[in-house]
A = this chain, B = another copy of it.
Amino acid sequence: MTGQWLTADQQRIWRDWLQVDRLLPARLNQQLQAGPGLSLPEYEVLVQLSEVPGGQLRPVQLGQALDWEQSRLSQQLTRMRRRGLVDRADCAGDGRGTVVVLTQAGRTAIERAAPGHAVTVRRLVFDRLSAEQTEAFGRACAAILQALRESGEPGDPPDGPQGRRTGQPIPADDRQADRTLR
């Protein structure tokens, strides 16, 4: 979980963050499943559609609103369509495109799910933090987010002091260790 180049404090914080990163979404998922029978990704999609008049969006717009990749969105919409939460329709203006339509079942589901979800977020996160802690937590998230975005698209330095800088093929020793990963 940790390398040799983090301080003891940093290691502890890092381990805690890894746990939060895993457990918090899992808990939100459980809560949504238990009552309204929605997954967190389903909830996020439905929120976006329900906020728009007519409950319709082009996949591209939906993807931008969620900051999701096209492929992920498409896969998710296929599953949600199977469940009857959304539907797909041809797009009037553009022959290439489609329109995602919120069904009545989808609208019912999101309207039933929203209050309890917000309550859970407050209970697990914000009710636990003092005003100063909330503020500090927000600043930390914003700072990390900025780092993620800055290091995101550019030359994308693979970074790190170890081997890969040269772009050479991996030495024979490694061959066995890195084939099957996507």
Q: Which residues on A are within 8 Å of B, measured CB to CB?
A: 1-6, 9-10, 12-14, 16-17, 19-21, 23-25, 27, 31, 33-39, 42, 44, 47-48, 50-51, 66-67, 82-85, 105-106, 108-129, 132-134, 136-148, 151-152, 158-164, 169-170, 173-182
Extra contacts besides A20-B144, A114-B174, A125-B144 (4): CB < 8 Å: A19-B141, A35-B164, A108-B170, A118-B181
Contact B34 A182 (CB under 8 A): no
Q: In the complex, which residue of chain B has the Cβ closest to the Cβ of A174?
A: B115
Contact B6 A122 (CB under 8 A): yes
6 residue pairs from A and B, CB less than 8 Å apart: A10-B122, A17-B125, A20-B148, A47-B181, A83-B179, A111-B174
Q: In the complex, which residue of chain B has the Cβ closest to the Cβ of A117?
A: B3
**Chain B neighbourhood of A163, CB < 8 A:** 34-35, 112, 116
Contact B142 A16 (CB under 8 A): yes
The 8 closest A-B pairs by CB, nearest first: A37-B178, A3-B118, A116-B160, A136-B136, A116-B162, A5-B118, A114-B177, A13-B138
Query: Which of B9, B31, B145 has a CB less than 8 Å from the CB of A158?
Result: B31
* Chain B nearest Cβ from A111, distance in angstroms: 5
Contact B24 A144 (CB under 8 A): yes
**Chain B neighbourhood of A48, CB < 8 A:** 1
Contact B34 A141 (CB under 8 A): no
Centre residue among A118, A119, A146, A173 by max chain B CB count within 10 A = A118
Contact B4 A118 (CB under 8 A): yes
